[in-house]
Structure 1
Amino acid sequence: MLPPVTGPLAQGVHTLTAEGLTLRYHVHGTGPVCVAHPGGPGIEWGYLRAPELEKRLTMVYLEPAGTGGSGRLDAHPHGYTRARYSGHLGALIDHLPVRRVYLLGHSHGGFVVQYHARHRPDQLAGVVLYESAPVTGPEHGEEIMRKVREFAARHADRPELQAVMEAFAAIPEIADDKAMVSAAKGVLPAYFANYWADTQRWSRLQEALRATYISGQDECGEPDLFDDREALGTLRMPALIVAGRHDVVCGVRWAEELHKLIPASQLMILEHSGHFGHLEEPERFALEVAAFMAAGTS
């Protein structure tokens, strides 16, 4: 029998220190190393766990600062900028016993990965921008509301729809952890291609969802908005762009734009998914992500 793997890539829960904060991360699976940054900001990492990927890759799931078991900034809930998150990613990757890793960012995590790819390309073999977008602010917000209206029209006959729409309306009023969790659970049905086709399964995820309120502002109270469209053209590493056909947050429009902007990119549209393709179409998601990484390491 082989001895158990020890060190920073041993299976299980780990911690490291970055900028005076304790950061927690989880290791599962075997194969090329892929560091995963969850979304939100503030959604705890467990929803992003992908067992099918873990059959093919060593998945390193970071709990970002301010979330879950990782430490909080003195300015909490403010100050969690992309630059700060990228610095913590850099510390984690330096902590691992590999020269370069693949980096997967989901939703807001994709925004962080875009930033990190521009500023620390030396650490990366490639990136997976999973339900990401090249811009935030009013333009992104308008697209979200357009897609939410499409979702509402598709499910106009559902008695549960009103509660989902009320949860969306409450998002601007979020100011603490309790409200964040309530809103995240409330809007979740809109994040699937068809939540009500498998309510029993997805309601378990909904019930298990945990979150921390992160304001999205820097220490001075300014929104951490961005427009990466010009900068993304400078990326030279391989990139896989993934989006669900029915995603209301960072859907196909943004995936296609990212694909056009990033020179060495591939595009994968999951036709039967919303925001959570790793759960809705797990086999295809895992096969194509693993194949993308295998091509880069062969």
Structure 2
Amino acid sequence: MNTRITDTDPLSPGTHSYRLAGLVQRYHVHGTGPVCVVHSGGPGIVWEYLRIPALEEHLTMVYVEPVGTAPDSRLPSHPHGYTRERYSGFLEILIERLRVPKVHLLGHSHGAFVAAYHALHRSGRLAGVVLYEGAPVTGSEHGAEAGRMVQAFAAKHAGHPGLPGVLAAFDAMSAMSNDEQTEAVAKGVLPSYFADFWGNEERLAPVRDAVRAVYISGLDEDGTPDMIDDRAALKELTVPALVVVGRHDVICGPRWGLELHDLIPDARLLILENSGHMGHLEEPQLFADGVRRFVLDTAPADSPA
């Protein structure tokens, strides 16, 4: 992999890296066209699962490796301290280094929470934001809805031999404390993150097996949870927004996508009817067409073609 510590062209294809606050920040550039910066989920899921070749045909996709997901990008307080404010601060420096007037920002899952925060607090270089499988809140309300959706998934697949493993992985989430446990849980719950994993297991099992994850606690350095409630703030969002949600998502499903759409002024909404949490893999062309149209409609006039 071609890694550059000093770059004359920050958008040349390949892997780029630089040092910031003693950490190495990497990002990966693929495709041509208007620039779309991509922040993956977790926190702690390694970025490759979110590679979107169908968008690379039309856009310059800049895939961020969120700090903490590589050994040389970990905070001294690791696994703590990875708040939205910190991710957003690193994002802002990266976007500035790209040397284009404005970019689009796409965040998936936890990355959508980060993208929403960035659009609310550091919108100056954003032409638009894509909130892909996000929600306006975390905490007990979000957890209760996820629990209800997981129960519905279990009822739908009652008797399937793979179901006990999925439910065991959900039960193990609260006890995660290291990278190995986190990766095992991520792979274990993944069948529930698709609309029909077991009906497409030959194609999707390699996706599950390729997932890599590191343990990030979700706590600030002082042990305070990084709780989220963006409902009031999102009503004042001025950045053009696209909300993308899969009809069968158990974690950040239609309830939250519809609420985000209703909260954000003039937001667009794309519901992927045959997807769960991974629409870019389940309905890749519909996903890519929706994001591409949004980016091209909202791109600055001087964006690269």
Equivalent position of 2:101 in the other structure: 99
Distance 1:68 1:81 in 2: 17
**Matched ranges for 1:102-251 at <5 A:** 102-251=104-253
Q: Does the residue aligned with 2:73 lie in a helix, a strand or coil?
A: coil
- Equivalent position amino acid for 2:270 in 1: M
The answer to whether 1:263 aligns with 2:265 is yes
On the 8 A contact 1:133/1:250 being kept in 2, the answer is: yes
Q: 1:14 aligns with which of 16, 21, 24?
A: 16
1:77 aligns with 2:82: no
| Aligned partner of residue 102 in structure 1, secondary structure | strand
Matched position secondary structure for 1:112? helix
Residue 252 (structure 1) aligns with: 254
What is the alpha-carbon distance in structure 2 between the residues aligned to residue 252 and residue 261 of structure 1?
Answer: 14
What residue identity is the alignment partner of 2:47?
W
- Report deviation, 1:123: 1.1
Which residue of the other structure, out of 90, 93, 97, is the alignment partner of 2:92? 90
- What code does the residue aligned with 2:208 have? Q
The one-letter code of the counterpart of 2:248 is: H
CA distance in 1, matches of 2:298, 2:72: 31
Establish whether residue 27 from structure 1 lines up as the match of residue 29 from structure 2: yes
| Structure 1 portions without partners, runs of 5+ | none
Deviation at 1:284, TM superposition (A): 0.7
Deviation at 1:6, TM superposition (A): 6.0
Match of 1:53 in 2: 55
CA distance in structure 1 between the partners assigned to 2:200 and 2:8 by the alignment = 40
**Corresponding position: 1:66 with 2:71:** no
Q: Deviations over 1:217-263 (max 9, x none)?
A: 00001110110000011111110000000000111100000001100
Match of 1:121, SS state, is coil
Distance 2:71 2:99 in 1: 23
Structure 2 unpaired stretches of 5+:
1-6
Q: Which residue of 1 aligns with 2:3?
A: none
AA at the equivalent of 2:295: M
User: The residue matched to 2:38 in structure 1 has which SS?
Assistant: strand
Counterpart-to-counterpart distance in 1, 2:191 and 2:72: 28
CA contact (8 A) 1:86 1:112 kept: yes
Residues of 2 paired with 1:21 and 1:262: CA distance? 34
8 Å CA contact 1:131, 1:255 repeated in 2 = yes
Q: Amino acid of the residue matched to residue 218 of structure 1?
A: D
| Cα separation, 1, equivalents of 2:70 and 2:38 | 15
Q: How much has 1:20 moved relative to structure 2?
A: 2.7
In structure 2, distance between residues paired with 1:208 and 1:54: 21
Report the CA distance between 1:159 and its aligned residue: 1.1
Which amino acid in the other structure matches residue 145 of structure 2?
Answer: E
Counterpart of 1:98 in structure 2: which amino acid? Answer: V
Q: CA deviation at 1:177?
A: 0.3
Q: Report the Cα offset of residue 264 of structure 1.
A: 2.3
1:63–1:70 contact (8 Å) kept in structure 2: no
CA contact (8 A) 1:38 1:106 kept: yes
CA distance in 1, matches of 2:123, 2:208: 35
2:284 paired with 1:282: yes
What is the one-letter code of the residue matched to 2:189?
Answer: V
Deviates more, 1:5-14 or 1:77-86: 5-14
Return the alpha-carbon distance in structure 1 between the equivalents of residues 181 and 109 of structure 2: 20
The secondary structure found in structure 2 opposite 1:122 is coil
AA aligned opposite 2:67: A
- What letter corresponds to residue 253 of structure 2 in structure 1? G
- The alignment's TM-score, normalised by the length of structure 1, stands at 0.97
Amino acid at match of 1:120: R
